[in-house]
């Protein structure tokens, strides 16, 4: 039964009970003192059910609105990935392709839908596969970006040397979860040159650092992409009724900017003392190094946005809150003796907007988690998550 039908039936029940109550009240042979108590309670219960349905309807509308906003944000980042000029792949730890952009499909001479689910080793010539498998196994032991030079072979096409830049992504337990691959075809004059990708500190080195205090809005320019050098930035928009909607948290190393979203209203606010550096769009377009480095950071934002979007689809508020706290633990958590402390203070209003519910509901649920000993607060009201929350 959908929400609209349930609302209609609840309202009809309320009207029928109210009519019955009114009729029984005016019958001359029934005194008000003799009116059945059960009838009064039924009318009262129906009224409460009607109010509850109205609140549920409003929450459902807020949920749909937030899902639409997050979906628009997710599509923006997905398009940035798909249409990037360089070839990018995302595989699991075993090298099975999970995502590929258009440039990668063209480079390997296979349509994107047939590329997904195939092992990257299938594009390595037979005589090279044992060596490549050894290199693939060794990747799981490294936390730094690795550079590989491998012979690749197109489907039904030629073989050529490729420069592979690989980054290992780990889960909360530290085990490899996925691999990010940048694939470049080496032309003859490049084969004698070492291929290096600058680290995050390299690309920000020598750039002016812009400082913002806690609570300050960061100035956004359509021609500028910001990279967080230190701190955490809250990214938000506003709903039709004026309420703020949390759509992301940009931590150290992440990027944001008005050119990276399709939302009409987009705001960036420092959640603590923040340092950011800027990159001009024209500069990025002219630099392969910046393209490579910044796209990896955009992937981080895309993953976070998809987690927030998936969380909004959970049926129960308790589940949405629990999943959000686990995401925050991963994104902005820092270990302390009591568990994991969120490095910035989020208000109940911030958490409520990310969970598609009301501040009152979040306050009640957070109080319950505190009583159960699953969360606590430090002297600055930062949330501390106990390790048992992740179970």
C-alpha 108/C-alpha 115 separation (Å) is 9
C-alpha 75/C-alpha 354 separation (Å) is 18
Q: What pLDDT is recorded for position 27?
A: 52
Q: What pLDDT is recorded for position 202?
A: 56
Q: What pLDDT is recorded for position 363?
A: 93
Q: What pLDDT is recorded for position 1?
A: 45
Please report where in the chains the tokens 């590929």 appear, as a residue: 100
Q: What pLDDT is recorded for position 6?
A: 56
Per-residue pLDDT of the chain (391 residues; tens, 9 = 90+): 455 655 666 666 666 556 655 665 555 544 555 455 545 565 566 666 667 667 777 777 888 888 888 888 888 877 877 878 888 999 999 999 999 999 888 888 898 888 899 999 999 988 888 888 888 888 877 777 788 888 898 877 788 888 888 888 888 888 889 999 999 887 654 444 443 444 455 566 767 889 999 999 999 988 889 999 999 999 999 887 788 888 899 998 899 998 888 888 899 999 999 999 988 887 787 777 778 888 888 888 888 888 888 888 888 999 999 999 999 998 898 999 989 999 999 889 999 988 888 999 999 999 999 999 999 998 888 999 987 665 4
Q: What pLDDT is recorded for position 298?
A: 86
């Amino acid at each position: 039964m959908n929400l609209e039908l349930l609302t209609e039936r609840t309202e009809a029940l309320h009207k029928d009970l109210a009519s019955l109550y009114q009729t029984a009240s005016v019958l001359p042979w029934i005194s008000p003192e003799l009116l059945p108590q059960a009838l009064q309670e039924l009318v009262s219960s129906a009224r409460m059910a009607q109010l509850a349905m109205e609140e549920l309807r409003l929450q459902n509308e807020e949920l749909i609105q937030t899902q639409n906003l997050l979906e628009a944000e997710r599509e923006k980042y997905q398009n940035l990935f798909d249409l990037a000029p360089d070839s990018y792949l995302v595989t699991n730890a075993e090298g099975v392709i999970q995502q590929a952009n258009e440039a990668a499909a063209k480079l390997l001479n296979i349509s994107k839908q047939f590329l997904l689910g195939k092992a990257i080793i299938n594009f390595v010539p037979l005589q090279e596969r044992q060596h490549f498998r050894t290199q693939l196994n060794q990747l799981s032991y490294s936390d730094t970006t690795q550079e590989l030079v491998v012979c690749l072979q197109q489907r039904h096409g030629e073989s050529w040397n490729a420069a592979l830049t690989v980054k290992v992504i780990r889960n909360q337990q530290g085990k490899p979860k996925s691999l990010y691959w940048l694939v470049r075809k080496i032309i003859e004059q490049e084969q004698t040159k070492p291929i290096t990708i600058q680290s995050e500190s390299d690309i920000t080195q020598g750039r002016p650092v812009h400082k913002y205090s806690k609570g300050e809005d960061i100035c956004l320019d359509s021609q500028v992409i910001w990279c967080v050098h230190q701190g955490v930035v809250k990214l938000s928009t506003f709903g039709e009724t004026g309420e703020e909607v949390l759509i992301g948290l940009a931590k150290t190393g992440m990027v944001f900017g008005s050119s990276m979203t399709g939302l009409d209203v987009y705001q960036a606010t420092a959640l603590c003392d923040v340092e950011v550096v800027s990159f001009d769009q024209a500069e990025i377009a002219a630099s392969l190094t910046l393209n490579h480095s910044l796209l990896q950071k955009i992937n981080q934002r895309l993953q976070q946005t998809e987690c927030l979007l998936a969380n909004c689809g959970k049926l129960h508020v308790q589940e949405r809150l629990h999943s959000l706290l686990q995401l925050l633990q991963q994104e902005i958590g820092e270990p302390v003796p009591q568990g994991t402390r969120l490095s910035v203070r989020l208000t109940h209003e911030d958490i409520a907007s990310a969970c598609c519910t009301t501040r009152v509901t979040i306050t009640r649920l957070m109080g319950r988690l505190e009583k159960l000993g699953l969360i606590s607060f430090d002297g600055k009201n930062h949330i501390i998550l106990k390790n048992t929350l992740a179970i």
